[in-house]
């Protein structure tokens, strides 16, 4: 005969199993309810204006965001409003969206500073990988090494030679700390072994205007930002930061072929929603943004401005972010870039 303690153990086990089954059933019902709610929300979405938070006005990221916003406004029949919150390396914009309701009405459109800021500050009020839901890697613009026409060089090798002959005398405009232009210049310094000084500005637009005015000698803006200045002759382009020559900038050599093997740098831009945004809403947003970006006339408009359309899956955006966090995050830590 089995002991009462054994029977009690069995009884407890039955009750425990029943409770676990009940909890599992509840979670399944909750998940089904959330999927139903998300699908219904996506079907009705949007019923009010959409807010897209991005960087400062006039930058390449801002221009791309506005083009996407125009397409969303037309496609959804609801206005997509661009909210410029530049500065602090994406900190302000990121915090706004991280705290927003996950309902598809507050989105983030930003570049590398947003996912690299964690390497430059002791505290960041959000995690770029867990507090957001990726929608799509929208566009990519390679960085371009440009100099003021007064700088007596016409190639990367000549610039490196000049910088080594005059250590600490040349300076560059880098936009916000941690911006693509800033990190491209620091990568150049690191790889070329030169000492050039960083002059920070509130944004890429101010930096390139200062370069055109002769306040600084060189810069690594993205191709979108640089194109208007190089076409007008106000700045001289020396090389593009792609592994192979690109049709975006025909005839321009690469930094990789100009003495810095493997040098690559681009201003990549992504679109995000707050974490826990229902998957059906993310799919709806992804489909609409991809439709806008892949229209032939939109691709051509971006290409003419020096930008490649990507329109990737959400997973590809996450993979790109993690890759840059691994490579550029190490550079940031090795040379001690701080944005506190």
**Beta carbons within 10 angstroms of residue 313's beta carbon:** 15
Cα gap 231→64, rounded to integer Å: 20
pLDDT value at residue 218: 97
Cα gap 153→334, rounded to integer Å: 29
Tokens of 259: 């003495």
Record the pTM: 0.80
Superfamily of domain 144-240: Periplasmic binding protein-like II (3.40.190.10)
Rg (CA), the chain: 25
Nearest C-alpha neighbor of 219 from the set 151, 152, 279, 278: 151
Class of domain 45-140+269-335: alpha beta
Local confidence pLDDT in tens for the 340 residues of the chain:
444 443 444 344 544 455 555 555 555 555 555 555 555 556 789 999 999 999 888 777 888 999 999 999 999 999 999 999 866 667 889 999 999 999 999 999 999 989 999 999 989 999 999 999 999 999 999 999 999 999 999 999 999 999 999 999 999 998 777 788 899 999 999 999 999 999 988 778 889 999 999 999 999 998 888 888 998 999 999 999 999 999 999 999 999 999 999 999 999 999 999 999 999 999 999 999 999 999 999 999 999 888 999 999 999 999 999 999 998 999 999 988 887 7
Cα gap 58→194, rounded to integer Å: 30
Residue with tokens 């009405």: 105
pLDDT value at residue 43: 75
Contact 266, 240 (CB under 8 A): no
pLDDT value at residue 29: 57
Contact 134, 142 (CB under 8 A): no
Q: Where in the chain is the domain with CATH 3.40.190.10?
A: 144-240
pLDDT value at residue 171: 96
pLDDT value at residue 40: 55
Q: How do 144-147 and 132-142 pair as beta strands?
A: unpaired
For residue 110, with 0-12 CB atoms within 10 Å meaning exposed, 13-18 middle and 19 or more buried, which class applies?
A: buried
Nearest C-alpha neighbor of 219 from the set 172, 255, 263: 172
Q: Where in the chain is the domain with CATH 3.40.190.150?
A: 45-140+269-335
């Amino acid at each position: 005969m089995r002991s009462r303690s054994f029977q009690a153990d069995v009884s407890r086990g039955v009750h425990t199993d029943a409770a676990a089954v009940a909890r599992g059933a509840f979670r399944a019902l909750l998940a089904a309810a959330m999927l139903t709610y998300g699908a219904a929300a996506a079907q009705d979405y949007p019923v009010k204006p959409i807010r897209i938070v991005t960087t400062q006005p006039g930058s390449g990221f801002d221009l791309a965001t506005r083009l996407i916003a125009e397409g969303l406004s037309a496609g959804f029949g609801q206005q997509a409003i661009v909210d410029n919150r530049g500065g602090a390396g994406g900190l302000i914009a990121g915090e706004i969206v991280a705290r927003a309701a996950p309902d598809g009405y507050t989105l983030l459109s930003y570049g590398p500073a947003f996912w690299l800021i964690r390497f430059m500050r002791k505290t960041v009020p959000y995690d770029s990988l867990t507090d957001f839901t990726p929608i799509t890697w929208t566009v990519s613009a390679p960085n371009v090494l440009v100099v003021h026409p007064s700088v007596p060089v016409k190639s990367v090798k000549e610039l490196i030679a000049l910088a080594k002959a005059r250590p600490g005398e040349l300076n560059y405009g880098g936009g916000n700390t941690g911006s693509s232009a800033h990190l491209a210049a620091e990568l150049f310094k690191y790889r070329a072994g030169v000492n050039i000084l960083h002059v920070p500005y509130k944004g890429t637009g101010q930096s390139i205007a200062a370069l055109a005015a002769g306040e600084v000698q060189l810069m690594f803006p993205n191709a979108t930002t640089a194109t208007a200045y190089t076409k007008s002759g106000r700045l001289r382009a020396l090389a593009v930061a792609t592994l192979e020559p690109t049709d975006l900038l025909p005839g321009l050599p690469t930094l990789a072929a100009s003495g810095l093997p493997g040098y690559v740098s681009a201003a990549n831009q992504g679109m995000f929603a707050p974490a826990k945004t229902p998957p059906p809403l993310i799919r709806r947003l992804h489909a609409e943004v991809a439709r806008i970006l892949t229209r032939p006339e939109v691709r051509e408009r971006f290409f003419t401005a020096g930008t490649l359309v990507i329109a990737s899956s959400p997973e590809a955006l996450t993979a790109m972010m993690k890759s840059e966090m691994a490579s550029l995050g190490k550079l940031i830590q090795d040379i001690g870039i701080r944005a506190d």
